[in-house]
Chain A
Amino acid sequence: DTAVSQTPKYLVTQMGNDKSIKCEQNLGHDTMYWYKQDSKKFLKIMFSYNNKELIINETVPNRFSPKSPDKAHLNLHINSLELGDSAVYFCASGRESGNTIYFGEGSWLTVV
Chain B
Amino acid sequence: AQSVTQLDSHVSVSEGTPVLLRCNYSSSYSPSLFWYVQHPNKGLQLLLKYTSAATLVKGINGFEAEFKKSETSFHLTKPSAHMSDAAEYFCVVKDNQGGKLIFGQGTELSVKP
Using a CB–CB cutoff of 8 Å, the interface residues on chain A facing chain B are: 31, 33, 35, 40-45, 48, 55-56, 58, 90, 92, 94, 96, 99-106, 108
Interface of A is mostly: strand
Interface residue? B26 (CB, 8 A): no
Instruction: Please tell me if the beta carbons of B42 and A105 are within 8 angstroms of each other in the complex.
Output: yes
| Residues in B74-113 with C-beta less than 8 Å from chain A | 88, 90, 94, 98-101, 103, 105-106
Distance in Å: Cβ of A30 to nearest Cβ of chain B: 11
Distance in Å: Cβ of A45 to nearest Cβ of chain B: 5
Instruction: Please tell me if the beta carbons of B44 and A99 are within 8 angstroms of each other in the complex.
Output: no
CB-defined contacts of B42 to chain A, threshold 8 Å: 105-106
Interface of B is mostly: strand
Instruction: Please tell me if the beta carbons of B43 and A106 are within 8 angstroms of each other in the complex.
Output: yes
Q: Chain B, 15-32, contact with A by CB distance < 8 Å: what is the 0/1 string?
A: 000000000000000001
Instruction: Please tell me if the beta carbons of B46 and A45 are within 8 angstroms of each other in the complex.
Output: no
Instruction: Please tell me if the beta carbons of A55 and B98 are within 8 angstroms of each other in the complex.
Output: yes
Instruction: Please tell me if the beta carbons of B32 and A103 are within 8 angstroms of each other in the complex.
Output: no
Residue in B34, B46, B51, B103 whose CB lies within 8 Å of A43: B103
Distance in Å: Cβ of B40 to nearest Cβ of chain A: 11
CB-defined contacts of A40 to chain B, threshold 8 Å: 105
Which residue of chain A has the shortest Cβ distance to B42 in the bound complex? A105
How many angstroms between the C-alpha atoms of A96 and B41 in the bound complex?
Answer: 29
How many angstroms between the C-alpha atoms of A96 and B99 in the bound complex?
Answer: 7
Which residue of chain A has the shortest Cβ distance to B100 in the bound complex? A45
Instruction: Please tell me if the beta carbons of A42 and B106 are within 8 angstroms of each other in the complex.
Output: yes
Residue in B32, B43, B88, B99 whose CB lies within 8 Å of A41: B88
How many angstroms between the C-alpha atoms of A101 and B44 in the bound complex?
Answer: 10
Instruction: Please tell me if the beta carbons of B43 and A105 are within 8 angstroms of each other in the complex.
Output: yes
Question: Are A48 and B99 also in contact (CB < 8 A) when A41-B106, A42-B105, A100-B49 are?
Answer: yes
CB-defined contacts of A33 to chain B, threshold 8 Å: 100-101
